[in-house]
Amino acid sequence: MDKKLLDILVCPVTKGPLTYDKKNNELISKSAKLAYRIDDGIPILLESEARKITGKK
Beta bridge mates, 19: 28
Q: What is the pLDDT of residues 5-15, one digit of tens each?
A: 999 999 999 99
Instruction: Enumerate the domain spans of the chain.
Output: 3-52
Instruction: Look up the pTM and report it.
Output: 0.88
- Picking from 14, 49, 42, 45, the residue whose alpha carbon sits closest to that of residue 30 is 14
Distance CA 15, CA 21 (A): 18
On the 0-12 / 13-18 / 19+ scale of CB atoms within 10 A, 53 is middle
What pLDDT, on a 0 to 100 scale, did the predictor assign at position 55? Answer: 76
CATH of the domain spanning 3-52: 2.20.25.10
